[in-house]
Structure 1
Amino acid sequence: MARIMIVDDAAFLRAMLREILTQGGHEVVTEASDGEDAVEKYKTYRPDLVTMDITMPVMEGVEALKRIRGFDAAAKVIMCSAVGQRQMILEAIQNGAKDFIVKPFQSSRVLEAVNKAVSEG
């Protein structure tokens, strides 16, 4: 079981991910609706894993990923993207993202990515 922070500006997508993750046996410790909020909450909650939306207001997901990894080089982050964000996904992976999942979410794929990231190191 992992302690997870969900970061997405869309409340319904956070709710959908929360449902998938809790049914998969994980604990959602906090949620954030933008990158800046995510960086602050990461420092407070120190989750085992973060699911990070790429496109958000205030601070984009890739920038938040860089700041979280700057604070904690061992941070495990899985990026969430809509189809067609290939360049941003590549940038995220170059900056330490463990994996990415594409919206709309498929529970089996979400849990596969989360379980794989959590079991690494």
Structure 2
Amino acid sequence: MLNVLVVDDALVIRKNLTKFFNDLGHKVIAEAKNGAEAVELCKTITEKIDLITMDITMPEMTGIEATKLIKEILPDVNIVMITSHGQEELVSESLKSGAKNFILKPITEEKLEHVIGALYSEYAKKEEDELIDED
């Protein structure tokens, strides 16, 4: 089970991501509505944060700025950027700032599961389920 911090200025996206993570067996330990709030949470949360989903475009502090600061605080945390079509340049900048991957909106549970599997091999979905021989 991964401990997750969800960062997005849109409440509906935070709620959807939380539901998807819960459905996949992970735990959202906190939510932030902007990058500045996310940085503060990373300084104060006592539970280990394994994964952060980070919207790129937010008020107060962008996801890119927050990613740079969070990687200084938590160098081992995996950050996945949430992006919209047409933000390819920002995605590239995010990856240079320390993000490990990205998800293109609209976000689905399947996209989230795929990215988690790419980052954490133990959560990678098996392409074919092994058949159980009951003979």
| TM band (smaller chain) | over 0.9
Q: Secondary structure at the match of 1:68?
A: helix
Using the size of structure 1 for normalisation, the TM-score is 0.93
Using the size of structure 2 for normalisation, the TM-score is 0.84
Gaps of 5+ in 2: 123-135
**Higher Rg of the two aligned structures:** 2
Post-superposition shift, 1:72?
2.0
User: What is the 5 A alignment of 1:35-46?
Assistant: 35-45=35-45, 46=48
Runs of 4+ in structure 1 deviating by more than 6 angstroms, as ranges, are none
In the alignment, is the contact (CA less than 8 A) between 1:2 and 1:118 conserved in 2?
no
The 3 A distance-change label for structure 1 pair 119 and 40 is: farther
For each residue in 1:13-39, what CA deviation from the matched residue of structure 2 results, as whole angstroms up to 9, or x when unmatched? 000111111000000000000000000
The structure, 1 or 2, with the larger RCO (C-alpha pairs under 8 Å, 6+ apart) is: 1
In the comparison of the two structures, how many residue pairs are matched? Answer: 120
Q: Secondary structure at the match of 2:17?
A: helix
Post-superposition shift, 1:115?
3.2
Q: Which amino acid aligns with 2:25?
A: G
Counterpart CA distance in 1 for 2:100 and 2:69 is: 15
Higher helix share: 1
